[in-house]
Amino acid sequence: MIDSRFKMPVPRLRTIAKLCAVGAAALTLNSCAYDGVKVIVINMFQGEAQPFIDRYDLKEKVYISGLSPDAPNMLCNYDGICQVTTGMGYANAASTISALLYRSKLDLSHTYFVIAGIAGIDPRQGTVGSAAWARYAVDYGLSHEIDAREMPAGWPYGYFGIGTKGPGEKPPMDYRTEVFQLNETLLQKAYTLSKSATLEDSPEAIAFRKNYAYAPANQPPAVIQCDVASADTWWAGRNLGQRARDWVKTMTDNKGNYCTTAQEDNATLEVLTRGARAGKVDFSRVALLRAGSDFDRPYDGQSASDGLINYAQQGGFVPATHNLVNAAKPLLDDIVQHWPQWKQGVPAN
């Protein structure tokens, strides 16, 4: 907690902030200027946030009006690394990031953002504990839906694009939030820095993977690059999983490669996109990382309902939350250690 009586050497203090006189126990950004935020980690709930808080000693509380009532402070350290917790789902994510951009007096024009959350993962692309950097985020929920029991014969599932006549057709981008593409240079930099990172595992995850007869589902976790489908609905199963694969391909003109599920990403990215148009942030400085905590579809012989309802038995939650920071750390550290270069943009080498 930043207190007006707190004493610290001036050079170190300036690495995170230029503080005005503060009467409250926590620094209130609506009443004074604040700068020096090099990177903000965006998590969705406490289980994702805690490994970052612990690893980076994020003890300084920065109150921003409008953040999640469950996490009303941005947490920072004196290296310029900060963290916010949005709350889960589209509404919470959009509300929190909007408050971060518009309710504070932060200068975030040079700040990097790393969205880091757990996810369901396609067993054909990764395994529980794997951490995936995304190129595309595709909205899984913006679509027509017909109950599968009433869909036309021959349809693979009841979902299809709004304004189209059936599955496989690409809809017009009327919502303008259907697909986001992240900066390729930053993506490759993040992947290159982290691809050899040591990832954690669990005995439960090791045992559960053996139910899958193919790789990479039955292999140890790794840092990978593939894309995310986001929606408020927490779906699961082979048919809906295939729909995610198909939908990402359709919406990215066959350039995307689906692997992870999420409940917030397109909402968060839309706020950051609008913030970029308003001159608040630089969207080219946004990276998206999801770590598999459970498989998005069951193994052969398992029902979809069992796979979803008993997802905790897969043993992926702890490795996934820990591997978010394990995979993000090389990027975060490089940004801080080489800030003069990163402040100008993603370094070429």
Instruction: Give the burial string for 149-161 (b: 16+ CB within 10 Å, else e).
Output: eebeeeeebbbbb
Q: What share of the chain is helix, strand, coil (3-state, %, to 5)?
A: 35, 20, 45
Q: Supply the pLDDT for residue 104.
A: 85
| First and final C-alpha spacing in the chain | 37
Below-70 pLDDT ranges, the chain: 1-35
Angle between helices 317-337 and 46-55 (to 10 degrees): 40
Residue 113 carries which DSSP code?
A: E
The two structure tokens encoding residue 36: 């020096």
Phi/psi at 283 (nearest 5 deg)? -65, -20
Q: What is the pLDDT of residue 162?
A: 98
Report whether 166 contacts 146 (CB < 8 A).
no
pLDDT digits (tens, 9 = 90+) for 26-71: 454 443 334 489 999 999 999 999 999 999 999 999 999 999 999 9
Residue 152 gets which letter from DSSP?
A: P
Task: Output 13-19 pairs: Cβ under 8 A, ≥24 positions apart.
Answer: 13/78, 15/78, 15/79, 15/80, 16/60, 16/76, 16/77, 16/78, 16/79, 16/80
Q: Residue 19's pLDDT is what?
A: 33
Give the separation between CA 283 and CA 277, rounded to whole angstroms: 9
What is the C-alpha to C-alpha distance for residues 99 and 116, in angstroms, rounded to an integer? 19
Tell me, what's the pLDDT at 349? Answer: 73
SS3 59: coil
Q: How far apart are CA 45 and CA 64, in angstroms?
A: 17
Q: What is the pLDDT of residue 125?
A: 98
| Contact (Cβ atoms closer than 8 angstroms) between residue 341 and residue 207 | no
Domain definitions of the chain by residue range? 10-142+177-344
pLDDT at position 205: 98
Give the pair of three-digit tokens for residue 166. Answer: 């059936």
pLDDT tens for residues 97-113? 999 999 988 899 999 99
CATH number of 10-142+177-344: 3.40.50.1580
How big is the chain by its Cα radius of gyration, in Å? 21
Task: Give me the pLDDT at residue 145, please.
Answer: 97
Amino acid type, 144: H
